[in-house]
Amino acid sequence: MLSKRFNIPLYILASILFGVKTYILYRFVFNISLDNMMQELILFINPFVSAFLVFAISVWLSPKRQMTFIRYTSLIGTLVLYFNLVFYRNFADFITIPVLFQGSNAADLGSSVLSLIHVPDLLFFLDVVIIWYLSKRQAPAMSVAYKKRNRVMALTVSLLLLAGNFILAEIERPQLFQRTFDREYLVKNIGVFNYHIYDIALHSKTKAQRVFADGNEMPEIESYVEENVKSDDKSDLFGIAEGKNLIFVSMESLQSFVINNTLHGEEITPFLNDLIGESFYFENFYHQTAQGKTSDSEFLVENSLYPLPRGAVFFTHGQNEYNAMPELLGEAGYYTSVFHANNKSFWNRDVMYDNIGYDEFYDVDSYQVTEENSIGWGLKDKPFFEQSLKYLQSIPQPFYSKFITLTNHYPFDLSEEDATLDKYDSNSKTLNQYFQTVRYMDESLKDFFDQLKTSGLYEDSIIVLMGDHYGISDFHNKAMGMYLDKEITPYDEVQLQRVPFFIHIPGEEGKVISKVSGQIDVKPTLLHLLGIENSNDITFGTDLFTEDRKDFIALRDGSFISEEYIYTEEKCYDRQSGEVLYPLEEEADSTASEESSNNEEANMCTPIKDKVEKELNYSDQIIYGDLFRFYNFDKK
């Protein structure tokens, strides 16, 4: 009776309900930053524009089919939103087409996925229930039988609204579709559904790049690397570890904010804190991963190329030609291996590892995993290192062996008997548990060092420890701000992307190095220490012990860190103070974007920003086009 009284067509009611739900999700669940009233307006209108565009299609159908179309469109649209919500809770990002192709990973996620689904989420489907009920019980009153002229008018109105949305988006964010590093900007300006359509188009375009690539792109890329990245300088440490074993530990989800920090008056990472004094420790070292997380960090380390902005390179381009570190070390006489107590197919590792030159992959089948020695994602770190040692002792030397830990992984579960630090107390269960699993990993690393010393491998090895990516996403900024006793700004979010990086060479004095560095630099740095020259390589990182090196670290979303500046979300900050240098606060109003585009030369970050965009694009070209198949790395 309600529908008869108001006589609202169901396609309009569905558009309103779906638009309201989507806006609430944008505004109060997704952590989308809004800098001015124009952005507020665009964020408000785009869900209604998208909903009306889709639901208005129903006016071209018969009354019965109208109801069916609206029902299932509402359900499918809600599922798309909900999948994005669950994904966002873990990764603070939006789903892309390549991520969907990584569905084989889902079977191994276990408690991680369940912890992202909340009971109040049922309210998210309330409008679907209402629409389903009305389409069944009030179909005659809520369907429409427009003449062709009115149908065309409905379509025209929906297209005009979409065009208006895009025009406002282009005014607010010039060249929006040319600057696709940051998916949040796309969702904020055109909506999640239009973003997915754009993502499909972009995916199709990148798939075609390999087909049409012919190698003519390489001279320009090589020229850029020669002029902006490569250095002929050698530091005093060149070859200091020549002939030694290389043991590399990827420390799952470990961020630098826990190093030399306390909880409840106790050190969170006592072993790692002590190790700083005996190692080269890079205190301003940043992870540069994207949607591939741990696999992205591996890709960066092995290749000194950037991961892709969408999906994981390990999945999408695992059979490309590369010039990876395991292959180079193999040619230098090293035996190469990976230790990771997880399924070999997770992140497509079995394919990628074989392609880049690893001799052996010790996966979960190499370990004795029981209910007692596993939790969360699998084998706990302490038994993982303990069981790995027998294999490490048996392989030929010199070797390059990579260890990937598991315990400090979302959702950071740990049994009571393994917890030696009390939980934190905040509104974030994730952060509360994080400190306990970090402490457990720290203890496992101490045990591993002791085992290496007992086995006799310690003195003949260099040991590298690196955090692979963030553990606490910006979804937990409120709790993180409570722990750090500060409000988390975009500047702070970039600083929180620092991860620990240790290079421990037995017998060498420790040194804290403050220069800005990142995962892109690991390959050239380690090859430098091992005395392996690779002058024809194409990399975007530089040896961290050489003075003549690149002056910035690029993040995958286009943000960057230099010695003087931090650039993120269209703002340029002083790196030391966090002060906004551009645009000035008085300019940050509805006309800020126009002023920014007309006064770009005033932005101190612009010269580096241009290099960052060029470098990310060059790296993408190499991967999408599989350009290394045309390149001769052995040329004189």
Give the type of residue at 123.
Answer: L
Local confidence band at 445 (pLDDT 50, 70, 90 cut-offs):
very high
629 domain-assigned: no
Q: List pLDDT tens digits, range 472-482.
A: 998 899 999 99
Give the CATH number of the domain where residue 330 resides.
Answer: 3.40.720.10
294 has catalytic annotation: yes
Question: What tokens appear for 611 in the block?
Answer: 């290099």
For residue 628 the two structure tokens come to 């290394």
Q: Are residues 381 and 280 in the same domain?
A: yes
| 141 and 189 together in one domain | yes
Assess if residue 517 is contained within a domain: yes
| pLDDT above 90 for 617 | yes
- Residue 632 within a domain: no
Task: Give the residue, 532 or 119, on which the prediction is more confident.
Answer: 532
364 pLDDT above the threshold of 50? yes
Which residues neighbour 431 within 8 Å (Cβ) at sequence distance 6 or greater? 424, 472, 476, 479, 480, 483
The DSSP bridge partners found for residue 249 are 403, 465
Residue finishing a domain among 166, 185, 208 = 208
| pLDDT number for residue 178 | 58
Distance CA 473, CA 192 (A): 20
Q: DSSP of 16-62, one letter per residue?
A: HHHHHHHHHHHHHTS-----SHHHHHHHHHHHHHHHHHHHGGGGGS-
Assess contact for 95 and 106: CB atoms under 8 A.
no
Q: Around Cβ 239, how many Cβ atoms within 10 Å? A: 14
pLDDT for res 174: 67
Tell me the sheet residues that pair with 502: 281, 465
Is the Cβ–Cβ distance between 480 and 516 less than 8 Å? Answer: no
**The CA-based dihedral angle spanning residues 626, 631, 633, 635, taken in that order and rounded to the nearest 10 degrees:** 180
CA distance 567 to 557: 11
Residue 603 within any structural domain of the chain: no
Tokens of 551: 């002056």
Q: Is residue 579 part of a domain?
A: no
DSSP state, 7? T
Asked whether 397 and 455 are in contact (CB, 8 A), the reply is no
Query: Do β-strands 552-554 and 335-339 pair in parallel, antiparallel, or remain unpaired?
Result: unpaired
SS3 120: helix
Residue 129 lies in a domain: yes
Asked whether the predicted pLDDT for residue 4 surpasses 60, the reply is no
pTM score, two decimals?
0.81
- Verify that 257 and 111 share a domain, yes or no: no
For residues 118 and 122, what is the distance between their CA atoms, to the nearest angstrom?
8
pLDDT, residue 118, reads 79
pLDDT of residue 591: 46
371 and 421, same domain (yes or no): yes
Strands 517-518 and 285-286, bridge-based pairing: parallel
- Torsion angle of C-alpha atoms 468, 473, 474, 477, degrees rounded to 10: -110
Pair (135, 280) in one structural domain: no
**Cis omega (within 30 of 0) for bond into 524:** no
Q: Please give the single-letter amino acid code of residue 116.
A: L
Q: Domain of 275?
A: 239-551
Whether residues 257 and 386 share a domain: the answer is yes
Give the range among 157-166, 450-459, 542-551, 594-603 with minimum mean pLDDT.
594-603
516-528 per-position pLDDT tens digit: 999 999 999 999 9
Pair (467, 515) in one structural domain: yes
For residues 198 and 258, state if they share a domain.
Answer: no
* Alpha carbon distance 325, 491 (integer Å): 33
The DSSP H or E segment spanning 465 is: strand 461-467
pLDDT of residue 596: 47
* Lowest-confidence region among 147-151, 321-325, 367-371, 410-414: 147-151
Q: How confident is the model at residue 588 (pLDDT cuts 50, 70, 90)?
A: very low
Highest mean pLDDT pick, 308-322, 334-348, 436-450, 523-537: 436-450
- Looking at the structure, tell me whether residues 251 and 202 fall in a common domain: no
Could you tell me if 294 and 178 lie in one domain?
A: no
pLDDT at 243: 95
Number of domains in the chain: 2
Residue 441 · residue 252 · CB < 8 Å:
yes
pLDDT interval class at 180 (50, 70, 90):
low
Rounded to 5 degrees, φ, ψ at 504 are: -105, 115
Residues 181, 300 within the same domain: no
Q: Where a domain ends, among 208, 223, 255?
A: 208
Closest C-alpha to 281, from 444, 66, 472, 517: 517
Catalytic residue among 22, 73, 289, 294: 294
Per DSSP bridges, beta strands 501-504 and 461-467 are: antiparallel
Q: Is the pLDDT of residue 26 over 90?
A: no
With cut-offs at 50, 70 and 90, classify the pLDDT of residue 600.
low
Name the domain boundary from 517, 551, 585. Answer: 551
Across 312-336, average pLDDT? 94
**590 pLDDT higher than 50:** no
* Mean of pLDDT over the chain: 88
**Residue 592: pLDDT band by 50, 70, 90 thresholds?**
very low
Q: How confident is the model at residue 29 (pLDDT cuts 50, 70, 90)?
A: confident
- 633 occurs within a structural domain: no
Q: Which of 272, 286, 250, 247 is nearest to 530 (CA)?
A: 247
- Distance (Å, rounded) from C-alpha 127 to C-alpha 363? 46
Range from 69-83, 237-251, 314-328, 596-610 carrying the lowest mean pLDDT = 596-610
Whether the Cβ atoms of residue 409 and residue 441 lie closer than 8 Å to each other:
no
Q: Is residue 253 part of a domain?
A: yes
Same domain as 263, residue 184: no
CA geometry: angle 429, 253, 438, nearest 5 deg: 65
What is the per-residue pLDDT across 63-76, written as a single tens digit (0 to 9) for each?
Answer: 889 999 999 999 99
Q: What is the pLDDT of residue 603?
A: 85
Strand order in the sheet with 511-513: 360-362, 335-339, 399-404, 245-251, 461-467, 501-504, 280-282, 511-513
At residue 393, what is the residue type? Q
CA distance 11 to 15: 6
